[in-house]
Structure 1
Amino acid sequence: MSEPSTIKSARVDLPQLFNWRNGIAWLVLAFTLLGQLLILQQLRANSDRAAEQQFELLVGKVTNAIEQRLIDHEQILFGAAGLFAASGEVSRAQWRAYVERQQLADRYPGIQGVGFSKVVRASERDAHEQSIRAEGFTDYRIQPEGERPVYMPIVYLEPFNDRNRAAFGYDMYAEPVRHQAMRQAASTGKSRISGKVVLRQETHGKVQAGVLIYVPLYHPAMPLETAEQRMDALLGFAYSPYRMDDLMEGILGAADLNLSLRIYSGPTQQAEQLLFASKEHAPGDAAHSQDVQLSIYGGTWTLHMESLPAFESGFSANEGLVAILGAGISLLLFFLISSLAFRQRRAEILAGQMTERIRENKRALQLSEERLSLALKGSNDGLWDLNLAADTFYASPRTWHMLGYQPGELQLSTRLWEQVLVAEDLPRTRAQLAQTMLSRLDQFTSELRFRHKDGRTVPVLVRGYIQRDAQGQPLRISGTSMDLTEHKRIEQMKNEFVSTVSHELRTPLTSISGALGLINGGALGEVPPAMQQMLEIAYRNSQRLGHLINDLLDMEKIAAGKMSFDMHEHSLRQLLEEALASNQAFAAQLGVNCVLREAVDVQVWVDASRLQQVLGNFLSNAIKYTPEGGEVSLHCSVPDATHVRISVTDQGPGIAAEFRARVFEKFAQADASDSRQKGGTGLGLAITKEFIERMGGKVGFDTAEGQGTTFWCELPILETCASTPEPGRGHLLVVEDEPDTGRLLYLMLHDAGYSVERVQSLHAAREKLADHRYDAITLDLHLPDGSGAQLIEEIRRNPLTRHLPIVVISAASHFDEKTRDPRVVWLHKPISTAQLLVALGKALND
């Protein structure tokens, strides 16, 4: 298809670019390029100034860090001098304790140690060496050998590691550089730093330049006015040796300063006086360099710092980008103006096309709004929007109609939802909302209960999307609300239907199953072999149908809150043996071996029949998924002192990763197809989870595809504790189901001198109160088989226990006034020993 003539005429060829009509575009190109050049020069000047300022800051930072660290090290030596000033003599153990308290490795990295060198006259040398050897250092001697009028050997040096042992006994006064620093320190009474030396600690590894700081120590009773007097009174030196590379690493740490640092001992930069050089060296033509004279402790350090290429590139990195962007913008303006000058017709055509697109977009937007409106009407959902940033709230008319209000009837605010929420749900809903806001979730779904205008409760499914800022803070929440009233009604009808049908099916099914069982058992005579096989199929399927109906009834009872539990104390080993025996026939039918590997003998507080049903579910599933000839093992262990874990392990194919999150959901099956090989409703594990959690435990599983699965449940171990009665002390009963809390209360009261017995259930408490007399009891309101308030009523109705003192210890935030008894002392968890004993004393004295 040929192009329209209007567009052909709008094309621009190369000669047209240099036409006089395009002069404006060329002027704009020239001025913009000139402007970009000026901007680039200004940017470069600003970058140079910023780099110079930053370099000055870094130089000051390095200098200050070195000065401050050396001051800190001097303070350590002053503290050591203070030990001698306070006590006159400091033992090796005291010196070690002082240095260890300084935590040199953590607080002052880079320091080699803290030592003490003692003044030893020539006449005292032998006695000095003998005294040190008497401390256990049998090979101690002053080094280097030779006769000198005064020795100043290193006596203490902590930490006393391999490197520092090499300096033990070394006479630093014999070495000229150290001698000069020590003599200046002794004569002036001030701290002095040595020149560059090689430390005695350089026994292995790279040899580093070293320096030492000396603080003189004097006899406290001698005058110190003149240099001669100070030399005569000299006791020794507290000093620290430094390996310069280690010292600078401790001062500068891992900071990437992008600087090359060299430190020289003395006012000049002589190679033989180089103390430290950073690993990276800047070229000789570095853009920024500076020398700093650092006067420290009678000495001078010259710091030479140069900027590294990385430092300089950080300030000039944008120049190329600015130049490219500037040139690009200039060319863009040039071609834009050229296009405007020579393609006016093309611009008109494009404007017409854009106008048409805007119209199409507007029509599409209107169509989208209509579809959204129709979709909301069709779904009968309400639309709402909560703008936290603007503090505004909007709700569609349908949202108000759900609650019986007209739009505008209620005053809009961001807290309006709290006014229409059912009051008793408000604390829990606030907590859930706060948790959602603090999380990183951007979507949520919650079922809430709102108050209708006429007072009835309306269940509403609320779905929302949270818009957040870059920091994750919520800005806006938008979503829909669905009235669940009809859904709840249908669900109730479904539950009632399932319950009714299940109950009605059980009677004829029982008759069918029983009749088939009698026939198969030969009660009516021998059955022909061909018929026998069909009857067995019918009997097995009737049993299977019975299990399915039982599962449906159990789920209906759980959903309706009608499931009751007959909780008693049982031996776990006996229950496991019974469960294994009950499933042996099914295992033998499928050619699977079931064994009990381990079974610790503990007591548990459970409903035996419900636990057998749980174990039956675990075992039957394991048997079904274990191949013929395989093994299913039942075993239990005690992961901690308060719980026992029961595990069933199969040799099946394992659970697929995509199904693991739904294992304990109702009607969940890994193979939900019509042709699946394993039968069942998918309710067994959901019922198992409900049963175990109702009995105070938890369930879970461990699996790996192709390696089998282990399903497990944990139950609390039943403990009954009693202490030996003491004459003259009260006899108490502790009723507490939580093992750790019960053990704590037992210890608190037993340590206070009371005779204590402890139980974990309402049933056990009744048995104890019937057989024993107690002076008082402590009681938890929430017990696994009933309410503590029920026990209080029973105690008060019984003439023998009517006046029994009771201390209620509960985690409830407030106590129901209906359960309040003026003769009961109430405590909120957590409690202290003092609170418990005061409350018990009050209860006993009332």
Structure 2
Amino acid sequence: MSYPRSDSGASTWRALFSRRSALAWLVLCTALLAQLAVYLHLRHQEREAAGQQFALIADRITESIGRRLAFHEQILLAGAALFELHGEVSRQQWQGYVERLALSERYPGIQGVGFSRVVPAAERAAHLEGIRAEGFPDYAIYPPGERELYMPIVYLEPFSGRNLTAFGYDMYSEPIRRQAMQRAGETGEPSITGKVVLVQEIQGPVQAGLLMYVPVYRQDASLDGAMARMQALRGFVYSPYRVDDLMRGILGAADLSLDLTIYASDRLDPLQQIYTTRPADLDHKPRFALLRQLEHHGQTWTLQLGSLPDFESEAPLRGPLVVLLGTALGLLLFFLTFTLLSRQSRAEALARRMTEDTRQSRQALRQSEERLALALKGSNDGLWDINLEDHSFYASPRAWQILGYPPHDQPAGAPSWERLMSPEDLAAGREELTTILSSTSNHFTSEARLLHCDGHRVPTLLRGFVQRDSHDRPLRVSGTIMDLTERKRIEQLKREFVSTVSHELRTPLTSIRGSLGLITGGALGEVPETMRPLLDIAHQNSLRLSHLINDLLDLEKMEAGKMRFSLADESLGPQLEEALDAAESFAAEHQVGCRLSGEVPQSCCVRVDAQRLQQVLGNLLSNAIKHSPPGSEVVVGCTPGDSRVRVNISDTGPGIPETFHERMFTRFAQADSSDSRTMGGSGLGLAISKELIERMGGTIGFDTRAGEGTTVWFELPTQDALTSEDDPDQPRLLVIEDEPDTGRLLHMMLRNAGYAVDRVQSLHAARERILSQSYAALTLDLHLPDGNGRELIEELRRDPATRRLPIVVISAANNFRVPEDDPYLSWLHKPISDAQLLTALGRVLEVGVVG
């Protein structure tokens, strides 16, 4: 056997990686290791220099902040000295003093300089009269309320813009400010508050706020001890700061190539973050990071500094030059050495090639035999073969083991394949084999019952291939055998389970539903009106559960046309909102937003089974949410027509493959049916939705484009609009409750008591309603799909427009406590009666009217 002469290029490459080239490779590795050591040393030096530069910048920033606060302290001390020198300072004198400071030019970032006066409760009326006599007839101390001591703001310059809202504000009424004021009054030293929201935040983005206080005492009073100083206190000279403006004034417009975050705490507490330069969308792990703490005026600030890509990219580029030169030198030495060692024998190379070819051929044959054996072992199937010419039959050890025979090769006196068939199936088996052999198909799959060695039947799956000669005459049939015993047992268990569930659930549900029907129908006498809503709820839910069980157990009813529908005229808008509310938590779990595009006209009504319509909407929304990327949005739209209305549910997912379009609405069909698919589901949702929509007189379809998302739509015939029965003169209440039955119950209780009622099922919907509608009061459940009701209470109490809005909390939580200083808030523990609800509501409404 002759071999082709190898070309010079191939020989060169083989020689390059031969053992004889080891010395050349050793020279190259030594050169590369040397340049690597030099590179690492230079890189270490560069990193140390950058770290020192970063630390220097951090120290300068910390020093600048401390120095600026010291300047502000001197301004306030000078103002306090002005009071102590003159005894009383007029508004004009104070204005002149602040104007001389030129705050905006010299100290950018300071909101102003003011004076807060101590006003005991007994002197409050005289104080108000005095300030109003100065030309401020509308002056008042706020927030309102009776307190032993007031410290309202009487001077604040410049007295314009945002600062006008602080005039008369009692800073001593707010806990964080009061703590700093008490510390300053007791110690006689300047004091800074923790993180607050300034009353000046009336427009634009809300910034974190701080205030610095310097106490002013009576000239003739003793200042020996904290109590004496508090008794001698006349007021405070103070400055408010919007922290973002303050930091811009301190740091200026310099590009520091690092981000700075400040916490008004001795630790990295996100709730105490008062300033940051880090953009919200920046995803960068800093190479250099430092923490600095700044102690000043009774507070500890923590400064977190991190380097940005611009700073990190400013390092010298000596390292790449060293790598380039070192690599070039190493390659030069390598090729010089290789040239001296590259003379090899072509005969040795050819012999090695022949040896390798032989080894690879043997290895390929061995691997082929191993693959066949492993494939059969992995599938746990048996192998069989029927020779049609000599009528011989062979079965592998696994095939005989399935039928109970010892696990060895063909047993002595083994029966033929016909004697292994169940007698009652033998005729059908022979006919099926004849049909296969006479057809043009070479592959077949068939189920058969074979006889176990002890006589019982073993269900099996036979897969086979027909081998034919050149004249298409069958020569032999070979294939595999799979034991279906376990699969058949599971199928039988499933059938028994379905039968048991059908009996055990339907029977008691029928009794419950019938009993409730008799009671509500008056069979046991007139039902009290207070009891009827509860009975109706129980009755409706028993019906609903019965419908769900029927759907799960009797899917065949759809194909048989036996499914029943309870059609009624329904307003489409509330149905869409209810479906969106129900899908909200599922959407939040997938980080996807859901919204209704535009408003659905009140006149847009359809005749549908509301429960089935919600089932359809739930299926379509669930599919859209699952196939939308995180951060995207599912949009529900409604397009009314002359006689039909179209509902569109659009996502921004990958779209539907063209090969799947025809199977879109078939049962158990999924675009990704692989074992590794990321989307769950049974593949029944769209098929059931199509059947339900068509049964309600509608049509369903979809539009999709690859990479741009999918819109699934359905159309329903429209009906006459539903009209509202609310009287515009009735007090309007808002019920915030995510549990539908409880929400309907509260709605009914309040409507029967003479109120107009709106109902929502989430915090988001509640916020939108409160912004667009004025309510006399609201009821609130604490546990809602998109958050805790406490968040809404805190938001309402912070807003002056809703600070006194009456609220009745209705919750099963045991850890809720009504604040003693909030008379407009009441709490009821579930379950409740209408008398409890109306009493609590009347109490908070009465307080709201008096207040």
TM normalised by structure 2 equals 0.36
TM normalised by structure 1 equals 0.36
Larger Rg: 1
